[in-house]
Amino acid sequence: MITVIEDTRQKVNHHEVKHTCLEQMGVNILRCALPFGDYSLPPNICVDTKENMEEIAANMVGDHMRFRNECMKAKLAGCHLYILVETHLGIRCVDDVDAWVNPRLRFSSKAVTGERLMKMMKTMQTRYGVTFMFCDPADSAEMILKILRGDYEDAND
């Protein structure tokens, strides 16, 4: 059995489907405060999950300093940080983000476009070694486990 650490900032009872799947795969989940990310397999792999494209856009634009600092902390700690974005939109790699249409653009011309978000993600990858990955929400638990074990098929660059 493998033990994965889940950050205590993750909402309790908000990720039950994911937890049930992980437990069925033989994963024990231990809640503990993490300096970055949502799930970790110490000492050097960490996965931060994003509920959808809107959440990653908000993190990278509206809360950019906090997000950047988290990425810097991971890099300085020698930890590879994976950002796993759950989406039904068919986005499978960072290049696909270019075609994403931010629903907030209907209300504000200042909202981030898919093209700009893609460029920001590529910059974060280059500067901080962060890997952005994408999956359908139903596949999230399996993807987390594959990333933590290092046996995912591709890095969705």
Per-residue pLDDT tens digits for 82-115:
999 999 988 999 999 999 999 998 998 888 999 9
* CA–CA gap between residue 66 and residue 153 (Å, rounded): 30
Chain segment 18-65, per-residue pLDDT in tens: 888 888 888 888 888 888 888 887 778 899 999 999 999 999 998 889
pLDDT at 1 over 80: no
Q: Token match 């990720």: residue?
A: 15
**Strand order, beta sheet including 80-86:** 27-31, 2-6, 39-41, 45-50, 80-86, 131-135
When pLDDT is cut at 50, 70 and 90, the band that residue 80 belongs to is very high
60-to-31, 71, 137 alpha-carbon distances in Å: 26, 11, 20
Query: How confident is the model over 111-131, as a mean pLDDT?
Result: 95
For the full predicted model, state whether its pTM sits above 0.85. Answer: no
Query: How confident is the model over 118-125, as a mean pLDDT?
Result: 96
- Spatial CB neighbours of 83, under 8 Å, sequence gap ≥ 6: 47, 48, 50, 56, 130, 131, 132, 133
